[in-house]
Chain A
Amino acid sequence: MSGTLGDPVRHFADCREAGADLVGGKAYGLGHLTALGLPVPPGFALTTDAYREHLAAAGLLERVAALADGAVEPAAQAIAAREIEELFLASSLSGALQDAVHTAYRELGDEIPVAVRSSADAEDTADASFAGQQESYLWVRGAEAVTVHVRRCWASLFTPQAIAYRADRGIRSAEVAMGVVIQQMIPASVAGVMMTLDPVTGDRSQVTIEAAYGLGLGVVSGEVTPDRFAIDKVALCVRERVARDKRIAFAFDPDAGEVRPREVAQGDRERLCVHDDELLALTRIGKDLERELGVPQDVEWALGPGEPGAREVHLLQTRPETVWTKKARAPIAPAGSSPMERMIVTMRTPVRLRG
């Protein structure tokens, strides 16, 4: 299935080799997870080259550049964004590109629901939020719908904020490109995020997990207050479990045909939503990941349906943690100090009993 360099579609298994420039940061991270044999729902990426090809083939290159690069005022930027989105949605994929996407989609399964998500190569910087690269379309079904949402993802490169952000920095629209991830949806019973350190102290021997019922959308967007768990990744034990009031859960609503929030049953709201065994399974995965990738990670994950404690873990995305990783850290022991000298320093540090 592995394609040549020119292939617009790359399966996750090939995304690590393809590199972040070609498939975007999100697909690159999923490529890593897949290459490590970790449980990632199957899927594929559309390359940044495919995006460029589409612009050229659909004749959008100059029109988009003129609209985006010419808008200086916020009002103009908003109009440009709307017009560019319309251009993308009105355009059609070239026959070859469409065939490649449809084939790859059908290989995933028959009319199975997928997530269509943008995959830019600057996931860990401020660019990510400004450039609108966080677009995710959930529970997309059917080959036609997939190509529609691919174009939506592309268009999300030109939100008003993204246009303004690049205008401020003198970045021309021709310099940017967007990959797209198409990944099988997991009907998550619980989902959340995992950070392979303690965000408060930067303690790298810890893992922090936040989780809520349903799809991870609620946790990532902040619409649900998730349960919080602290796990010692070396001792492999759960240090802290904080149950929160999880009023809603995001799930696919078959009647509405889309993902919607639903009320969580009263008895479940304040119950811990992840079993210890699952926390430890996630932690082990986080450790492997961090060791392979060399730096602490932010991971999005989901648990499949089933009995608590026996649900399957799925990884949806990973990216390097940036806050603590970038922070310079002074050595703990003064260089060249002897154990005796350190002992004296410790003994002379009083424990405060008041105040």
Chain B
Amino acid sequence: MHVTESRFASPFDVETPAGAENWESLYPYYLRFSEGNRAYDDSTMWFRDALHHMELLQPFDTITFEAWGQSLSAYNGRVFAVPPAHGIDQRVLNGYLYVRPVPIDDEAVVAERVEHFLERAGFYFENWDDLYARWQQKMEKCIGELRAIEVPALPKLEDRAVVTEARGITTGFRLMRAYDAIIGSIFEAYQYHFEMLNLGYGAYLNLFEFCRKAFPRIRDETIVQLVAGTELLMFGPDDKLRELARLAVEADIQERVLAGASDPQGTVRALRDEPAAERWVQAFDEAQDPWFQFSSGTGLYHHERSWIDDLTVPWSALTGYVEKLLAGEDIDRPTQEVRDRRDRLTAEYRQLLTDEADRDAFDQNVGLARTVAAYIEDHNFFVEHRHHTVFWAKMREVGDRLVEGGFLEDREEVFMLSRWEIGEALYDLVMGWSVGAPRPGATHWRELIAERRGILTALSAWTPPPALGPVPEEISEAFTVMLWGITTDRVRTWLNGSADGDAVSGVPASPGVREGLARVIRTAAELPEVQPGEILVCPITAPAWGPVFGSIQAAVSDIGGVMSHAAIIAREYGMPAVVGTGNGTTAIRTGDRVRVDGDTGQITVLERA
């Protein structure tokens, strides 16, 4: 059935799930669709950001998208004057994030912005390598400053030194200032995140557009291979695990490593006392900073722990590599093959171009895309992984202070409050400490959190629609199209709904055809369940899932395009991947025998489990 509808439900008509009444109170007022702003809110299409924020949002976790939304938009709109569009606007409905690009309709304004863009973006492209080096220094400084923030416990009596050194600052004030600095740090990190990112995507866009015109049937996945093979920091964590696997076999402690999966921390502790494991332990310790500051998810949610917090995910990969080594298998990434293929593809496409000017343009476009490739892939390592690992840890310390003051029962409850509410709670806490009298916070927050648990449970049973509001004639924000894959076909599919519950198809993201048993994994915590040779089926393949790619033979995801990080990793590992299936994790079950065709994007269930 094909319905030619041109609008999705209005956000104002979407009902609140039973039991989730008052859900709006979990999020800041500016994230809601509001009657006062209805003329704008109800005028165009909002689509669900299932790429970065697919999960139901706990109140504090809006901070990551608030930070990226502000920065991305300001760089587009106010810094580089990207001609046709301002930023990406954001709303939360029933606990899920919806976004929309804000176009610029006035031709005269666009023309004026073109001049600014040429000058400003031109400066960055001309000085890219130098500016990227400086960018890394800025991020190192930002991470260093965040680490240095002390989240002080409130003492019964201030230390003598406060007096003898005439510090003039109380611990209560320092606690409030520490929180402000932590919040400031994540906003600062996102300033850098988008300083160069959209320009980098602009360079990719050029290459994509040229290739699509020159070779109308070329697939995006093939275009991306023209820029593959760059040595990335992003591969560092996984490379460290390979090194540790080799060292374990060399030191003949492989059995200890293999047996340690149930208690990785305890295993490491025990190995510290063994002379044979000395080199291994040394390498393990050296890998902690920065390589284990690596989120097991996207880094955008508080519950996604980093390797340094929880060794389960890296340990499972480590044992996988040890097993492969013991079986005599090669565990190296096929870096040279990827580069050889890149060079062959580039040479062959170039040769097919008959026009000299086209060859020049092709060379320029490939060159520019390769220049920006390292930044495009590695900025996440600095921001979402290294910075956020520290950020979430610091926020847990803030939670500790609220627990100590009797405001919360558990440090994790801090994420049940919005960033503004935590400021309120901390003031209340500090005031209570200062004044020495009982405070309302001791009951207020616990009641609120209890209510919120009920609301979140009710919201989690709701299925967010892919989009809201009327479908516009066109979208003129190229990054929206490239990153979120918002295209005519996609919108049409959303409007018509999925036709066949069993049919799974998506974007072919890495070539090849493989058959095997499916393993459906919904969160990083389930990753250790993956068995060698299985086909990973997941909602979204986060970069930190890299190690699991060492043992699987193909990957399927509900969300993402050819530029999603997992697609990139799959290509680097030379295994087929199909992304953006929409229904992979619901249509496929663990144990199903499936065929993944990374060339056509088709997944066939050969035999049900």
Contact = CB atoms under 8 A, between A and B. Distances in A.
Given A234-B349, A333-B358, A346-B205, A353 B491 contact: yes
B84 A333 contact: no
B478 interface: yes
Interface string B181-212: 00000000000000000000011011001100
B352 A205 contact: yes
B554 to A, nearest CB: 14
9 contacts: A201-B216, A205-B215, A234-B218, A234-B222, A234-B348, A239-B219, A241-B600, A343-B205, A344-B117
Given A329-B354, A351-B475, A355-B473, A339 B365 contact: yes
B546 to A, nearest CB: 24
B306 to A, nearest CB: 36
B398 to A, nearest CB: 41
Given A343-B202, A352-B474, A237 B511 contact: yes
Nearest 6 pairs between A and B by C-beta? A333-B361, A350-B476, A350-B474, A201-B216, A237-B599, A205-B215
Contacts of B360: 333
B125 A340 contact: yes
Interface stretch (B29-37, B321-329, B481-489, B580-588): B481-489
A194 to B, nearest CB: 15
A198 B217 contact: yes
Given A340-B122, A347-B82, A331 B357 contact: yes
B487 A346 contact: no
A226 B365 CA distance: 39
Nearest to B209: A346
A344 B476 CA distance: 12
Contact of B358 (A332, A336, A352): A332
A204 interface: yes
Nearest to B45: A353
A206 interface: yes
Nearest to B472: A353
A240 B349 CA distance: 20
B311 interface: no
Interface string B353-391: 011011011001100100000000000000000000000
Contact of A203 (B217, B365, B473): B217
B427 to A, nearest CB: 45
A351 B219 contact: no
Nearest to B346: A234
A241 B352 CA distance: 24
B209 A238 contact: no
A354 B491 CA distance: 9
B220 to A, nearest CB: 11
Nearest to B367: A339
Given A340-B122, A353-B488, A347 B202 contact: yes
A2 B122 CA distance: 64
Contacts of A348: 83-84, 110, 476
A89 B397 CA distance: 102
B216 A203 contact: yes
Interface string A47-58: 000000000000
Contacts of A355: 473
Given A339-B368, A344-B117, A201 B488 contact: no
A198 B216 CA distance: 9
Interface of A: 198, 201-206, 230, 232, 234-235, 237-241, 276, 329, 331-333, 335-337, 339-344, 346-355
Most chain A CB neighbours (cut-off 10 Å) among B110, B218, B368 = B218
Interface in B90-144: 110, 114, 117-118, 121-122, 125
Contact of A235 (B203, B222, B358, B487): B222
A204 B215 contact: yes
A333 B84 CA distance: 20
Given A239-B599, A340-B122, A347-B205, A335 B473 contact: no
B213 interface: yes
B600 A240 contact: yes
A349 B478 CA distance: 8
Contacts of A331: 355, 357-358
A239 B600 contact: yes
A276 B357 CA distance: 36
B244 interface: no
B9 interface: no
A329 to B, nearest CB: 7
A202 B216 CA distance: 8
Nearest to B82: A347
Contact of A205 (B205, B209, B349): B349
Contacts of A337: 361
Contacts of B210: 332-333, 342
A329 B470 CA distance: 39
Given A203-B218, A239-B219, A351-B487, A339 B475 contact: no
Nearest to B6: A354
Contact of A201 (B217, B219, B345, B364): B217
Contacts of A353: 45, 471-475, 486-488, 491
Given A205-B217, A344-B83, A235 B345 contact: yes
A169 B534 CA distance: 68
Interface in B234-290: none
Nearest to A345: B209
Nearest to B369: A339
Contacts of A350: 84, 474-476
Interface string B461-503: 0000000000111111010010000111001000000000000
Contacts of A198: 216-217
B403 to A, nearest CB: 49
Contacts of A346: 205-206, 209, 478
Contacts of A232: 217-219, 222, 599
B302 to A, nearest CB: 35
Nearest to B216: A201
A121 B349 CA distance: 32
A355 B474 CA distance: 10
B117 A335 contact: no
A198 B215 CA distance: 10
B214 interface: yes
Given A239-B599, A355-B473, 9 more contacts: A234-B218, A234-B348, A339-B361, A339-B364, A340-B121, A344-B83, A348-B110, A352-B488, A353-B473
